[in-house]
Amino acid sequence: EMVMTQSPATLSVSPGERATLSCRASQSVSSNLAWYQQRPGQAPRLLIYDASTRATDIPARFSGSGSGTEFSLTISSLQSEDFAVYYCQQYNTWPPALTFGGGTKVEIK
């Protein structure tokens, strides 16, 4: 089973600062990795797919990088609406066995 591990579990950041979130796969997923944002009480929202491509209408302050087993999501200057939980998801297995990381909560410092 493909296991996705996110770190840290919680990240405390001040508004305007930079945040870097990590996601590690238990085996290579190539670039088949996505990132989602989930605000409290809301459904997740797709931010990044194919490791580094921003989804439609996602601000440029969100960027993704990495390949293989190590990935990161960077938020260049945190806005108030960015405080949320972020999940990575791999889609490199067949038959499909999509798996998510456990999430990183970005909270206000």
Partner 1 sequence: QVQLVESGGGVVQPGRSLRLSCAASGFTFSNNIMHWVRQAPGKGLEWVAVISDDGRNKYYADSVKGRFTMSRDNSKNTLYLQMNSLRVEDTAVYYCARDRGDYDFWSGYYTFDYWGQGTLVTVSS
Contact positions vs partner 1 (CB under 8 A) = 32, 34, 36, 38, 43-46, 49, 55-56, 87, 89, 91-103
Least Å distance, CB 30 to partner 1, is 10
Nearest to partner 1 of 43, 60 (CB atom): 43
Least Å distance, CB 88 to partner 1, is 10
Nearest to partner 1 of 14, 43 (CB atom): 43
Cβ atoms of residues 53 and 104 within 8 Å: no
DSSP 49-84: ETTTEEPTT--TTEEEEEETTEEEEEESS--GGG-S
Largest Cα–Cα distance in the chain? 42
Could you give the CA distance from residue 109 to residue 104 in angstroms, rounded to a whole number? 15
Helix (H) or strand (E) holding 108: strand 104-108
Nearest to partner 1 of 16, 43 (CB atom): 43
Least Å distance, CB 96 to partner 1, is 5
Least Å distance, CB 53 to partner 1, is 10
Cβ atoms of residues 84 and 38 within 8 Å: yes
Nearest to partner 1 of 16, 23 (CB atom): 23
